[in-house]
Amino acid sequence: MATRIAQRREQSYVAGEWLESENAISVSDLADGGTFAQVAAADRSVAEAALEAAHEIKPELRETTVVERAQWCEEIAAGIREREEELTEVIVREAGKPISSARGEVEQAATRFDRAAEEARNIVSKGEYREGSTEGHEGWQAIVKHEPIGSVLCIAPYNYPLATTALQAAPALAAGNSVVLKPASKTPISAAILSTVIADVDGIPDGAFNFVPGEASEIGDVLAGDDRINAIAMTGSSGAGNHIARESGMVNLHMELGGNAPAIVFEDADLADVAGSCAKGSFKYAGQRCSAISRVIAHESIHDDLVDLIEGQMDAWQAGDLFDEDTAFGPLISEEQADWVETLVDDAVEKGADLIRGGSRRAPEGVPEELGDQFFEPTLLANVPYDARIVDEEQFGPVAAITTFEDEDEALEIANGSDLALDASVFTSDHSRAMSVADRVDAGAVRINGPPSHGLGDIPFGGNKDSGIGREGLDASIHEMMRKKSIVL
């Protein structure tokens, strides 16, 4: 187990200054128990100051060149890598993520800043030239160029507190926008360290980046409802996203929200590969991922075989010391989240699902008693009835719920029956069927013969229905965070 880092106290960062607040948010240590850090809880006055700072700096940022902004991003990436060990330990403690995953998240964040620099250079170098093409406009000439959208409010989630923050902030800065970052209240420390990295980069004007940790109930509406914000990039629940959409008014909304990814498995699929993909898709980071496989929709002829194969994968997904390189599984973010997962599992069993394995809270040896109720076993449910809540609702927990279908149309009816439509997977050896089902399933992204994955942001991703607005990804996000101006010559 790692040596516990000293108790730390982080501050808000507004207009180039570090600010204290009367109140503080305590951050739980999901590795050793207790509290390992505090962060100043920004109140309304701090939020207002951040909004004004971000607004006032817009004209200056608009005059910066893409070369300057790309250099900022590259220096930020270097700064993240210099603090890799510190950031890794913080992510383990605040997010409850195994150290191997936490270390990977740090490198993902750094790479996203590097890639944002590349994508920004590429986008601004591709302006358009147009000529008039309608009667009466013959001979007209125009150029179409990109310019920053203004100020971007970044609202980050708890499950990838550094990597997702980078996916929002890197394209915003690379595009020439000012940023107001509000991290998740449960995981604000990695974002605080990122803020110090950004503050140390020469050339970034004061006010271009602002860090305002605080409770959503205190400052959420203040930030989202302010007309000085021009775009909102958010990753979070569908309920929170709908609330922000109602508050925000006429801004560019860029939201990746809740998921309930189905894995549709046909009888001709390679079931050994399917089992490995579904286990990883369901249990990685205890299922606390919007893209997690939450329901496996299997052809009725292979249901039992697939259940046996997935059960055979489950020994590899055991909880342990988060600082052990071999640990694959940790606690849920809170007891309330464990309560929610338990509710969905109990509902499925009450309605007739077979509980094959798991289904209860069980902490590994050595875990502090106060964290015990946050560990939920990897759970396998079979023959899940269609009316079970887990078929349609987001669980954010380590549960593989397997239900059956008779034919392709029924599989699609089940998959498309949820209000969530972020990701999906299709498993089959028939290419034509794979493409047909991928076209018909309602999801922002579909993976063929593998669990949902979007890389570092090279592939645009986002949701339909209640799963979001717009598409994320470094290239896609930069386009969302810039606007086009036509100049008629």
Catalytic residues: 256
d(CA 289, CA 37) in angstroms, rounded, equals 24
- For residues 378 and 359, give the distance between their C-alpha atoms in angstroms, rounded to a whole number: 7
Three-state secondary structure call for residue 273? helix
Q: Tally Cβ neighbours within 10 Å of residue 460.
A: 18
State the Cα–Cα distance between residues 135 and 267, nearest whole angstrom.
58
Answer for the pair 115, 80: CB distance below 8 angstroms, yes or no: no
Determine the distance from the C-alpha atom of residue 342 to the mean position of all C-alpha atoms in its chain, rounded to a whole number: 23
Find, among 86, 90, 83, the residue nearest to 31 by Cα. 90
Q: Choose among 483, 477, 486, 484: nearest CA to 174.
A: 477
Can you read off the two tokens belonging to residue 387?
Answer: 């009316």
**Calpha distance 145→273 (Å, rounded):** 47
Give CA–CA dist 260/425, Å, rounded.
11
Query: Distance between CA 343 and CA 323 in Å, rounded?
Result: 30
Strands (E), 311-398: 354-357, 379-382
Distances (CA, A) of 256 to 233, 240, 404, 418: 8, 11, 29, 16
User: How far is C-alpha 305 from the geometric centre of its chain's CA atoms?
Assistant: 33
Distance separating alpha carbons of residues 468 and 321, to the nearest angstrom: 35
**DSSP 8-state class, residue 361:** B
Q: Quick one: tokens of 254?
A: 């860029």
Phi, psi of 416 (to 5 degrees): -90, 5
Structure tokens at 59: 């004209």
Range 348-367 burial, b when 16+ CB lie within 10 A, else e: beeeebeebbbbebebbeeb
- 187: tokens are 């995981």
Dist CA 165 CA 195 (whole Å): 11
Residue type, 35: T
For residue 364, the one-letter residue type is P
- Number of residues in the chain: 489
Neighbours of 465 (CB within 10 A): 17
